[in-house]
A and B are shown apart, each in its own frame.
Chain A
């Protein structure tokens, strides 16, 4: 198999993994976890948490 073909298969695989991760995360409420963390001042980020 040519290296271009291998790279393209690998790319498609990574895109599929990324989409599965996003869907899994969305289904398990991670979007609202990210939102909740992002809309309050993150004490760890500013150095006092």
Chain B
């Protein structure tokens, strides 16, 4: 059997899921891992209140820093995300993010498959700015107490990986369920249905971590190139792209998760990805007037 690019990617995704969630036995008692590895941030989205989680969620850690410090910003976690993003960009999404893998599996459920309008991809930048940076910094949620607002009001990863298993195994906590939990469950249901219908719905529309890595895709060391001498503009790459990117026009789009489907689909082998210092701008297709 030929080990295809996609099989290699799946092996890496499963390995990343494994190192992110090694403590599966904790699901039985509803406990969470409390060791020192949790001072390190996971490159991808993985709730630190998931019983199996072995690392800290970077978005949670960014907000925790902003909540706790007098200077109201999480420098440590933001610095870690920035460093990872400059090297890998959204390759983290395509290869290392546990919630990315979960979404790909959910999308395999048979159903009509839909595409979203481009403007919906900008929502995640607003969520990043408002719920991850501003609200935890300024206590804008009306309570006067600074809290991790993205975790509290939005994050479906926390509801799925933390909320459901913890509340299932801790009946004493269920009396605390209220309006916010209902809101978060509603968001989770929308995200799950969204992921069945739309490939990587959460990544496209909602993920603040994907927003940061996406902004860094333009400069990250891991990048994609189009060889304009080979490309015949057939758009075979665009047709297979799960993120609705047109890689032959914009190989380093903020939406590209570096999954490589387009590279495999190209009949002329015009696309390539890898760690490159050289941006090869001369090799990308000039779309002026296209």
Hey, which bits of chain A sit against chain B, CB under 8 A? 3-4, 7-8, 10-11, 14-15, 17-26, 28, 30-35, 37-49
Instruction: Decide: A35 near B36, CB < 8 A? Known: A45-B49, A48-B180.
Output: yes
Q: Which of B41-81 contact A (CB under 8 A)?
A: 41, 47-49, 53, 55-57, 60-61, 64-65, 68-69, 71, 74-80
Instruction: Answer yes or no: B110 CB below 8 A from chain A CBs.
Output: no
The B interface is mostly helix, strand or loop, or mixed, namely helix
Q: Cβ of A47 and Cβ of B181 under 8 Å apart? A: yes
Contact digits for B19-49, partner A, Cβ 8 Å, 1 yes 0 no:
0000000000000111110110100000111
- A–B complex contacts, Cβ < 8 Å, 7 sampled: A11-B221, A25-B75, A26-B76, A35-B56, A40-B32, A41-B162, A45-B47
Instruction: Answer yes or no: B235 CB below 8 A from chain A CBs.
Output: no
Q: How far is the CA of A27 from the CA of B50 in the complex (A)?
A: 28
Q: Cβ of B74 and Cβ of A44 under 8 Å apart? A: no
Instruction: Answer yes or no: B1 CB below 8 A from chain A CBs.
Output: no
Which residues of the other chain, B, contact A39 by a CB distance below 8 angstroms? 32-35, 38
Chain A residue nearest to B221 (CB atoms) is: A11
Hey, which bits of chain B sit against chain A, CB under 8 A? 32-36, 38-39, 41, 47-49, 53, 55-57, 60-61, 64-65, 68-69, 71, 74-80, 82-83, 86, 147-148, 151-152, 155, 158-159, 162-163, 166-167, 173, 176-178, 180-181, 184-185, 216, 219, 221, 277-279, 281
Q: Cβ of A46 and Cβ of B159 under 8 Å apart? A: yes
Q: Cβ of B60 and Cβ of A22 under 8 Å apart? A: no
Which residues of the other chain, B, contact A3 by a CB distance below 8 angstroms? 279, 281
Q: Cβ of B281 and Cβ of A47 under 8 Å apart? A: no
Q: Cβ of B152 and Cβ of A37 under 8 Å apart? A: no
Q: How far is the CA of A34 from the CA of B279 in the complex (A)?
A: 36
Which residues of the other chain, A, contact B77 by a CB distance below 8 angstroms? 25, 30, 34
Q: How far is the CA of A47 from the CA of B38 in the complex (A)?
A: 21
Instruction: Decide: A34 near B76, CB < 8 A? Known: A42-B60, A46-B167, A49-B147.
Output: yes
Q: How far is the CA of A42 from the CA of B46 in the complex (A)?
A: 13
